[in-house]
Amino acid sequence: MAEDFLFSGEEVEEVTQPTIGTWKVLIVDDEPEVHAVTKLALSDFTFRDKSLDFLSAYSGTEATNLLKEHSDIAIVLLDVVMETDDAGLKVADFIRNELENDSIRIILRTGQPGQAPERQVIVNYDINDYKSKTELTAQKLFTVIMAGLRSYRDIMSLRTTQDGLKKIISASSDIFSVHSMEQFIDGVMMQLTSILGCGEEQAMYASNSLMVNCQPTDSDTELKVVAGQGRFGAVVGKRVSEISDIINDELQGAFAEAIKRRAIVYRGNYLIAYCHSKFSTNSLLFVSGIPTDLSNNKRDLVELFAQNVQVAYESIQLKIELEASQTELLQRLGGAIEKRLNDRGEHIYRVGQISAMLAELYGLSNSQIELLKRASGLHDTGKILLSDDILKAPKSLTEEQWQAVKQAPVEGYKILAGSERELIQIGAIVAQQHHEHWDGTGYPDGLSGTDIHIYARIVSIANVYDSLRSKLVYKDAWSHEKAIEYLFEQSGKKFDPKLIELFDRNQSKFSALY
């Protein structure tokens, strides 16, 4: 039967052109000849610079197995009568109802139209096209596949757009989380590749970190990768000049052209978009795997999109810059207090890092970890009011001096309390409670157990461990082993036993961090 369709005396022109990917087409038919002639008739088919990748199934069972394995099949050329009279219809039902896949275009091909009436099948099984094998010439098959792929492309483009919007919205709602910039860039790239109808989504964001107007005076050494996808994911943070094996001379030349023209440069199957900034560094947006025949309308969309991306990117940059400035200010304030104590400026930084690591092991969220890391530097704020004869006393304190020390957490809390900023609120809690003990023998309020805030319990351990490891005015530095032994001794007394257990299981990490 296979010889009765597909060719019909037509000559197929041989056209050879480079492709940048494939569309998967599943042929489901129990006649091997049908598979052979279908592949032959469509051997030179390309759409949007992508060729066809054929999968073959000779029964309904084989078809369902392949559909489970390949979620990216674009078209199914489906026979009706195979191992049973309705095997093909069962496959169609499996696609739509069990896989819940309404993206795949199902083209029913039957040599026995009476077995599956066209109107009934199209309505009941969500079939996209219905053809009798005897009417399918090579040209008609070409037309059917082209229409199916266009429909599949549009559906996937809409879904990519939705996914991209979701990622951008997610990033916007949690802009201070540690992954916000990565989420934002990922969403942006999904949006752009959707606009372009890209095949292989590989993207990079390169920013001129030295010159605001992006006019280079020393080739590419000023360009730095700040976010990437695909093969560029491994080079984030590196300068373009350092990764010539990935960004070759041709691509660097395109970067230079985009900067010089302050425009979008199209070359082959990639583009570089110049994004102008009024407030910070200009940027280059690189996307590969794009169609080579972009319409003028799509090029206009890309230009508009690129400029709006820069505006959104700058908004996030500004928030991150404010956060970084805030963190540095807190560290410098805490460092100033520590230098009054014993000139150990690195103590604040290490307490923050140790607290963050312990908080992560405990299971706090990323946002909580980040806030605690920054707020921990305020733990000794109250000591700024103590005199030097107390802060730098080489021997035991008098009772009067000890009472002043015990009052320092209260004074620290007073300094920080009342702020509407969550970061300062956490700093106030830590300043007030980090000298409270698990068994209730601490100060200033004699809190015990979980009445002590988890932030304060964490900082208490981080502060003591770092202090024990450091040389102070009244003691020499302790070894890691001796410091750990002390923490164990005080587990359930000064310190939360669960936190000490976590510290114990990860000793090497904390020692290396110090």
Report pLDDT digits (tens) over 73-121: 999 999 988 999 889 999 999 999 999 999 999 999 887 655 556 677 7
Mean predicted confidence (pLDDT) in 12-28: 70
366 and 509, same domain (yes or no) = yes
For residue 165, is it within any domain? no
Torsion of CA 28, 34, 40, 44, to 10 degrees: -40
pLDDT tier at 399 (50, 70, 90 boundaries)? confident
Q: Do you know the residue count of the chain?
A: 514
Percent of the chain with pLDDT over 90: 36
388 and 490, same domain (yes or no) = yes
Domain span at residue 286 reads 174-318
pLDDT tier at 503 (50, 70, 90 boundaries)? very high
Q: How far apart are CA 96 and CA 126, in angstroms?
A: 8
Q: What's the number of domains the chain is made of?
A: 3
Q: How far apart are CA 182 and CA 265, in angstroms?
A: 25
Mean predicted confidence (pLDDT) in 285-293: 76
pLDDT at residue number 15: 45
276 and 370, same domain (yes or no) = no
493 and 366, same domain (yes or no) = yes
For residue 337, is it within any domain? no
Which of the 8 DSSP states describes residue 221? T
For residue 252, is it within any domain? yes
Q: How far apart are CA 151 and CA 155, in angstroms?
A: 6
Q: Which two tokens stand for residue 413?
A: 């809390």
Residue 37 pLDDT more than 50?
A: yes
For residue 325, is it within any domain? no
For residue 168, is it within any domain? no
137 and 285, same domain (yes or no) = no
For residue 48, is it within any domain? yes
365 and 312, same domain (yes or no) = no
Asked whether 21 and 153 are in contact (CB, 8 A), the reply is no
For residue 202, is it within any domain? yes
pLDDT at residue number 462: 96
> Cis before residue 444, ω within 30 degrees of 0?
yes
Q: Higher pLDDT residue, 331 or 247?
A: 247
490 and 363, same domain (yes or no) = yes
73 and 187, same domain (yes or no) = no
For residue 290, is it within any domain? yes
349 and 485, same domain (yes or no) = yes
List, by residue number, the catalytic residues: 383
- pLDDT 10s digits, 218-270: 444 467 777 776 677 777 777 787 888 888 888 888 888 988 888 888 888 78
Q: Higher pLDDT residue, 490 or 402?
A: 490
73: CATH: 3.40.50.2300
271 and 304, same domain (yes or no) = yes
Which of the 8 DSSP states describes residue 420? S
Residue 439 pLDDT more than 70?
A: yes
pLDDT tier at 453 (50, 70, 90 boundaries)? very high
273 and 394, same domain (yes or no) = no
Classify residue 211 by burial, with Cβ atoms within 10 Å: 0-12, 13-18, 19+: middle
Read off the pTM: 0.48
